[in-house]
Amino acid sequence: MDYKVVIIGAGPAGIFAALTLAQAGLSPVLLVEQGKDLKDRNRHAANDMLCGWGGAGAFSDGKLTLSPEVGGFLGDIVGTGALKDLLAEADGIYVRFGAPDRLYGGMTPEMEELADRARLADLELIPMAIRHIGTENCLIVLDRLKEAVSRSVDIRTNCRAVKILADEGAVRGVELSDGRVVRCRYVIAAPGRCGAPWMKEQARLLGLPSQASPVDIGVRVELPAVVFKEITDITYESKFVYYTKTFDDKVRTFCMNPYGEVVQERNGSMITVNGHSYASKKTANTNFALLLSSAFTEPFDDPIAYGRYIAHLANLLGKGVIVQRLGDLMAGRRSTRERLARCLTRPTLQEAIPGDLSYVFPYRHLLGLVEMLHALDKIAPGTASRHTLLYGVEVKFYSHRIQLSPELETSVRNLFAAGDGAGITRGLLQASVSGMLAARAVLKRESQ
Ligand SMILES: Cc1cc2nc3c(=O)[nH]c(=O)nc-3n(C[C@H](O)[C@H](O)[C@H](O)COP(=O)(O)OP(=O)(O)OC[C@H]3O[C@@H](n4cnc5c(N)ncnc54)[C@H](O)[C@@H]3O)c2cc1C
């Protein structure tokens, strides 16, 4: 045996698994990461954006959400109460490694009042506490984590796990892209969303039961920060949920960035939109996503293909990301450069092409998004202004959900799966917790 444990992926799940094993003194442990080392990553390069030390969140603005309702499904596996404690524990580690002390939100009297106002507007406010690391601090925290892990864990970047090897119902090792076969007792697979197709293929080869997850499709909304100021002053990130009148679909706000900027993202052959904010550098705008979930069963059961199709349609029509004033959308006309020049919301994403999102979204989606904007307008007047900007499309893919035990073990003995790649998490903090859980299961087994 070359290593006791091989960890696949250096995102939050893999890093927290490695840190847990390192702190417990278990060795030898190998962590393989297909992407580059943190210092060599370039946020504008397609592959570096999601891959490399730090994973998909390395260039994010690092919002740690302390609510068990948000960021994944670990609550279904370990229970909501236990998850709450684990989230607080992982959050504490981020603070120890340099995340700012300040916590936003939680169920304060102002939040109670906001929740009441939301109810009157047919919206549900999901209360949660958020820690905002900030884009610039994320890299510092990740660097410190690397230093701590590398003291006792072998880290190999630019090294891809090609195949997970199993025999007689137990994991035996990992075949790497350099041709080496590493024998080990345990594998913790944490390949993230970019490694989800690979994980799905490994699940097929190993016969691991899994199921498709829904895809979330929508727009990034940008408006003057003053429109949401009262809300973002109370809670940095507010999660509102709305059920559409026409289709009873769930629409939710996601990833709110007060004083932030809208960014374009390359996702393979797709160009999609996202948003972020810095802890110190401020713009005049706030942005957030409005997303609608779509799940499919029969005869079509490939939500990822559906999401890609919509994103590619936007790219086909707009040669990239499309931006439209809400006023133009409602008036049944496209936005143009001239119309955009008269928009009181100054776009922070310059590369977006003025166009018409009604050619991109199915009626069901478009109606749901517009209905929600009008509901939000009741608690944040100005949201449904004709000057509100809509960028499309924003799409969130979730990995196939692998069937796991409460210890995050797959049906192959000693093969654990963690993080977004296993389809059980959707955010930094739950991904980190999942890595801790898998590592603890390994430690427990080793101590028996
Ligand atoms: C732009 C952006 C902003 C975000 N902002 C936030 C936020 O503010 N708050 C929040 O909670 N969440 C945020 N998220 C989501 C968050 O980043 C993810 O939920 C989290 O990173 C998942 O962690 P993970 O470890 O499961 O996977 P990842 O972070 O995706 O890491 C997986 C790693 O595994 C590597 N890998 C994959 N396959 C292999 C293989 N075969 N061999 C070796 N290595 C492999 C990948 O290269 C990658 O580095 C954001 C995501 C993005 C893209």
What residues pair up with 8 in beta bridges, in sequence order?
Answer: 32, 189
pLDDT of the residue at 269: 87
Check whether 279 has a pLDDT greater than 80. Answer: no
Domain boundaries, the chain: 3-104+129-212+399-447, 215-396
pLDDT of the residue at 162: 98
Mutating to test ligand 1, I would choose from 32, 428, 429 the residue with most ligand atoms within 8 A of its C-beta, which is 428
Length of the chain: 448
Nearest atom of ligand 1 to the alpha carbon of 65: 11
pLDDT of the residue at 310: 96
At 429, list the tokens: 């903090």
Residue with the nearest Cα to atom 30 of ligand 1? 192
pLDDT band at residue 275 using 50, 70 and 90 as cut-offs: very high
Determine the Cα–Cα distance for residues 103 and 100; give it in Å rounded to an integer: 8
Query: What type of residue is 129?
Result: A
Whether ligand 1 lies within 6 angstroms of the CB of 55 is answered as yes
Determine the Cα–Cα distance for residues 240 and 302; give it in Å rounded to an integer: 27
What's the CATH class of domain 3-104+129-212+399-447?
alpha beta
User: Which segment of 32-46, 80-94, 325-339 scores lowest on mean pLDDT?
Assistant: 32-46
Whether ligand 1 lies within 6 angstroms of the CB of 190 is answered as yes
Average pLDDT over residues 39-52: 88
DSSP character for 403?
P
Helix axes 12-23, 428-447, angle to 10 degrees: 40
Determine the Cα–Cα distance for residues 223 and 242; give it in Å rounded to an integer: 20
Whether ligand 1 lies within 6 angstroms of the CB of 72 is answered as no
Check whether 280 has a pLDDT greater than 80. Answer: no
Mutating to test ligand 1, I would choose from 163, 216, 420 the residue with most ligand atoms within 8 A of its C-beta, which is 420
What pTM, to 2 d.p., does this model score?
0.83
pLDDT of the residue at 318: 93
At 205-234, the pLDDT tens digits run 999 998 888 899 999 999 999 999 999 988
Whether ligand 1 lies within 6 angstroms of the CB of 11 is answered as yes
Whether ligand 1 lies within 6 angstroms of the CB of 392 is answered as no
pLDDT of the residue at 406: 94
Mutating to test ligand 1, I would choose from 51, 73, 160, 434 the residue with most ligand atoms within 8 A of its C-beta, which is 51
pLDDT of the residue at 390: 98
Whether ligand 1 lies within 6 angstroms of the CB of 260 is answered as no
User: Percent of the chain beyond pLDDT 70?
Assistant: 100
| Cβ-contact 325, 355 below 8 angstroms | no
249 alpha carbon – ligand 1 mean position (Å): 28
Check whether 46 has a pLDDT greater than 80. Answer: no
At 121-151, the pLDDT tens digits run 999 998 888 898 988 899 999 999 999 999 9
167 alpha carbon – ligand 1 mean position (Å): 29
At 302-354, the pLDDT tens digits run 888 899 999 999 999 999 999 999 999 999 999 999 999 999 999 999 999 99
Average pLDDT over residues 179-183: 97
Q: Which residues contact 259 (CB under 8 A, 6 or more apart)?
A: 225, 277, 282, 283, 284, 285, 286
What residues pair up with 123 in beta bridges, in sequence order?
Answer: 242
Q: How many CB atoms lie within 10 A of CB 307?
A: 22
Give the C-alpha distances (Å, rounded to integers) separating 36 from 90, 187, 263, 364, 439: 25, 21, 22, 41, 24
pLDDT of the residue at 1: 83
305 alpha carbon – ligand 1 mean position (Å): 20
112 alpha carbon – ligand 1 mean position (Å): 33
Whether ligand 1 lies within 6 angstroms of the CB of 65 is answered as yes
| Cβ-contact 312, 253 below 8 angstroms | no
Nearest atom of ligand 1 to the alpha carbon of 59: 1
pLDDT of the residue at 297: 80
Determine the Cα–Cα distance for residues 201 and 126; give it in Å rounded to an integer: 35
Mutating to test ligand 1, I would choose from 7, 32, 60 the residue with most ligand atoms within 8 A of its C-beta, which is 60
49 alpha carbon – ligand 1 mean position (Å): 9
pLDDT of the residue at 246: 92
374 alpha carbon – ligand 1 mean position (Å): 33
Average pLDDT over residues 67-83: 93
